[in-house]
Amino acid sequence: MPNTTTKASGKWHIGVIGGSGLYEPGALEDAQEIRVASAFGAPSGPITTGHIGGVRFSFIARHGAGHALAPSEVNYRANIDALKRCGVTDVVAISAIGSLAEEMAPGDFVVVDQLIDRTLGRARSFFGDGIVAHVPLADPVCPRLSQFAGEAAGKAGAKVHAGGTYVAIEGPQFSTRAESHMYRQWGGQVIGMTAMPEARLAREAELPYALVGMVTDYDCWRESDADVDVAEILTVMRANADKARALIAALAEALPATRSASPIDTVLDTAIVSARENLAGLGAARLDAVAGRLLQGLPNRDT
């Protein structure tokens, strides 16, 4: 189902990336499961696409069916590229997160607004191979989409924190106690293993990105609390999965009828520094979705 929406249509098409414990999106009208090939390798799995009200949603489970992919094994580029190929206009990611802040308690939802990247060696850019792009990332999430996602989380019955700095660690091990204390000193409020490079790549693909984290634990900094373990995370996530699906449904209602342009839609206009003639070169072939807007009309030297 390539490119069923263009941003020019004024219609929302929300890509949802479901994290730990959220492997399917809930009821979508006329739901279809599709396999989308990406030039960047295999996405985590099929995409389920359908409508809620007038809004199209396309859902991918980040860790794949049966949670087969570790955070370092997720092909973040393929997932974002595949969503873009479906015609997604905006991406909402839903994640399990640990809390580094007393007031963000297990069960609460946090609409993340800043990220600290401690991941190592993950493919973090679509560009290279002759095409150099430097997108701005000062504010790595879209404030407009985050606002709607936060409203939707509230309507779904969650206690919502508007804003929070997420520390993305490589994992798969949880943090040491010293690291956990250090991240708190850095100003980290929540912690996870997947928001980077996902947010970077969404920005490069000109997709506004929002991240709603569901707090599952207090990591290992809090003396009165047991140290985080997976069983604890999955118990809280299972209890919250219905709320996450309700959030998706509420988002369809929270969005205005028409999608107006976002500055993120055209961020590549001023980010690509390589000579324009290089855009038709070798590296451009696989950028047909991510940077297709800029490549249209250029001769393709690969064919």
Annotated active-site positions, please? 217, 219
Q: Which helix (H) or strand (E) holds 71?
A: none
Which residue number, 195 or 247, has a Cβ lying nearer to ligand ADE? 195
Burial class (CB in 10 A: 0-12, 13-18, 19+), 185: exposed
- CA distance readout (Å), 3 to 39, 111, 261: 15, 28, 18
Count of helices and strands (H, E) across the chain: 6, 11
Min separation Cβ 226 and ligand ADE, Å: 12
- CA distance readout (Å), 166 to 22, 70, 183, 247: 19, 19, 10, 20
CA distance 40 to 47: 16
Min separation Cβ 213 and ligand ADE, Å: 8
Q: State which of positions 257-286 bind ligand LNRAV4D5 (CB under 6 A).
A: none
Site track 134-163 with ligand LNRAV4D5 (rule: CB under 6 A), x = hit:
------------------------------
- Tell me how many degrees the CA angle 32-92-9 measures, rounded to the nearest 5: 70
Give yes or no for residue 233 binding ligand ADE (CB under 6 A): yes
Min separation Cβ 22 and ligand LNRAV4D5, Å: 7
Min separation Cβ 35 and ligand LNRAV4D5, Å: 21
Of the listed pieces 82-90, 119-127, 213-221, 242-250, which binds ligand ADE according to CB under 6 A?
213-221
- Tell me how many degrees the CA angle 297-302-303 measures, rounded to the nearest 5: 80
Do residues 40 and 51 make contact, with C-beta atoms less than 8 angstroms apart? no
- Tell me how many degrees the CA angle 98-101-103 measures, rounded to the nearest 5: 110
Q: State which of positions 54-83 bind ligand LNRAV4D5 (CB under 6 A).
A: 62-63, 71
Which residue number, 180 or 194, has a Cβ lying nearer to ligand LNRAV4D5? 194
Q: Binding residue per annotation — 209?
A: no
Q: From the list ligand LNRAV4D5, ligand ADE, none, pick the one residue 190 interacts with, judged by a Cβ distance below 5 to 8 Å according to partner type.
A: none
Which residue number, 4 or 235, has a Cβ lying nearer to ligand ADE? 235
Closest by CA to 74, choosing from 58, 62, 60, is 62
Residue 169: φ, ψ to 5°: -100, 160
Among 192, 197, 208, 283, binds ligand ADE (CB under 6 A): 192
Name the residues that contact ligand LNRAV4D5, by CB under 6 A.
19-20, 62-63, 71, 95-96, 171, 192-194, 230, 233
Name the residues that contact ligand ADE, by CB under 6 A.
96-98, 169, 174, 191-193, 216-217, 219, 228, 233
